[in-house]
């Protein structure tokens, strides 16, 4: 069994923001996999199904980004999942728009949602898939992260979401090593 967690903030206000690209990947996966009936569980929305013979759970924490780890901890403990069976999908300001990066483990990289997951799990030894939302610094950072993609950025963002969903499917079917090549 695998658990794929898309990070984001709940509510329509945040639905199309850069910070919710993890939710957008989870939504793309749910669409592809026919996971159209999520249930409220573990402080989030969860759906499950079988993908390429593997049971896969999709989780979108509804705790706001900075508390996402609670939902991840509760779900992974309930299903008795190993850290190797978790994949967290999030935005990354350090990556150029549209670039994705998959890692088997690592730091939070300044991402508060990943920091929460690491703190709640007591480990950084889980896979994460980061989607570049473009680089910006200083006072413009909050507006950038919580703002929508511009009309010019949207095609690259949509392609990155599809590519990230492809990477998740590869991770489910073949594992992290195959996906990173």
Look at the chain and report how many structural domains it folds into. 1
How is residue 32 written in tokens? 């592809």
pTM of the model: 0.91
CATH number of the domain at 13, please.
3.40.50.1470
pLDDT digits (tens, 9 = 90+) for 40-50: 999 999 998 88
Q: Which domain covers residue 41, as residue numbers?
A: 2-179
What phi and psi, each to the nearest 5 degrees, are found at residue 153? -80, -25
DSSP secondary-structure letter at 139? T
CA distance 181 to 179: 6
The side-by-side arrangement of strands in the sheet containing 54-61 is 39-41, 44-51, 54-61, 2-6, 86-92, 127-132, 100-103
What phi and psi, each to the nearest 5 degrees, are found at residue 18? -60, -40
Could you give the residue numbers annotated as active site?
19
In this structure, the chain runs to a length of 181
pLDDT digits (tens, 9 = 90+) for 129-146: 999 998 776 667 766 677
pLDDT digits (tens, 9 = 90+) for 96-141: 999 999 998 988 787 888 999 999 999 999 999 999 998 776 667 7
- Look at the block and give the residue holding tokens 């978790």: 86
């Amino acid at each position: 069994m695998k658990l794929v967690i898309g990070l984001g903030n709940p509510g329509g206000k945040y639905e199309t923001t850069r910070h919710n690209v993890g939710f957008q990947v989870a939504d793309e996966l749910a669409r592809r996999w026919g996971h159209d009936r999520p249930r409220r569980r573990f402080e989030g929305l969860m759906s499950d199904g079988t993908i390429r013979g593997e049971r896969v759970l999709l989780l979108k924490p509804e705790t706001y980004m900075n508390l996402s780890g609670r939902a991840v901890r509760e779900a992974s403990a309930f299903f008795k999942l190993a850290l190797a069976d978790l994949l967290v999908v999030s935005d990354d300001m350090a990556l150029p728009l549209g670039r994705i990066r998959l890692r088997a483990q690592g730091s939070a990289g300044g991402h508060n949602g990943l920091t929460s997951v690491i703190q709640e799990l007591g480990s950084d030894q889980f896979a994460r898939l980061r989607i570049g939302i473009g680089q910006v610094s200083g006072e413009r950072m909050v507006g950038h992260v919580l703002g929508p993609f511009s009309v010019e950025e949207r095609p690259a963002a949509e392609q990155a979401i599809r590519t990230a969903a492809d990477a998740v499917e590869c991770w489910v079917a073949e594992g992290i090593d195959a996906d990173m090549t």
